[in-house]
Amino acid sequence: MNSLLPASLTLSFTGFSQRGGCTDHHADGWGIAFFESDGPRPGKAVRHFVDKESAATSPIAKMLRSYPIKSHNVVAHVRKATVGSVALENCHPFVRELWGRYWVFAHNGDLKDFSPALHGAFKPVGDTDSELAFCWLLQELNKSHAGVPSVEELTHTLRELVPRIARHGTFNFLLSNGQALWAHASTKLHYVLRQHPFTQVQLKDEDVSVNLADLNGPEDRLAIVVTEPLTTNEQWVAMAPGELTVFVDGCPLA
């Protein structure tokens, strides 16, 4: 999620977490990271929860389904293990520091013959191809910019770096530093924009219908990015293979 104002992901996470072993087979761990809001402005601090138990049954996930943490940027993931064991250190999203900001990354896919040299401060803790890709991306971003770059500069550099990983397999990912949310579609990603006037939505994975107007004010605006649409009655946009989109203040940048 990327939002103009601090927003809760409770509704979307309710449906999303059911895909972690209930309505889908991604039951090998899960995680979620919230960039803690500093009043109306995006904050630097991150609340980070991971669990190797499935999201559909995890007591931590149950708590988060009813605990409305407000945030401008949220990254969540339910895992189906393809590379790396079912272990806490292999649960997405992964978190690292660069340029005095936390960065959060989650990957859906499988990379083959991807073994880049890591020679900086970014090294994997677990044994997934996803965390390796994240560490390499941050290493190369750090090499490409002497100081803290703008969102536009970061997007330009990512568009140069990402194809060098994507050629090794499926590389759908979400990346955020609290200022923006980058989404790359290798095979499948969808997003929806929610803003005034808000309507009634029906979750796809739960028998739950909610009027978004009861949860949002006229100034609220947010984007939700997922592999598969979470609701049955909204206009979800399918991203094209190879597309990298950056979301700021609840909408995609042109």
Identify the pLDDT of residue 74: 94
Q: How many domains does the chain have?
A: 1
Identify the pLDDT of residue 214: 85
Q: What is the mean pLDDT of each run of 10 residues along the chain (254 residues)?
A: 86 57 58 81 84 81 78 86 74 95 96 94 95 98 93 98 98 97 97 94 80 88 93 95 97 90
Q: Residue type for 237, please?
A: V
Identify the pLDDT of residue 13: 64
Identify the pLDDT of residue 81: 58
Identify the pLDDT of residue 183: 98
Based on its alpha-carbon atoms, the radius of gyration of the chain, rounded to whole angstroms, reads: 17
For residue 105, the domain's CATH number is 3.60.20.10
Residues 189 and 172: their CA atoms lie apart, in Å, by 7
CB-based contacts of 11-15 (< 8 A; 24+ apart in sequence): 11/201, 11/203, 11/208, 11/210, 11/215, 12/224, 12/226, 12/230, 13/61, 13/64, 13/65, 13/76, 14/65, 14/203, 14/206, 14/208, 15/203, 15/204, 15/205, 15/206, 15/208, 15/230, 15/231
Q: Given CA atoms 72, 121, 49, 225 in this order, what sign does their dihedral have? A: positive
Residues 8 and 190: their CA atoms lie apart, in Å, by 20
Domain with 224, as residue range(s), is 2-252
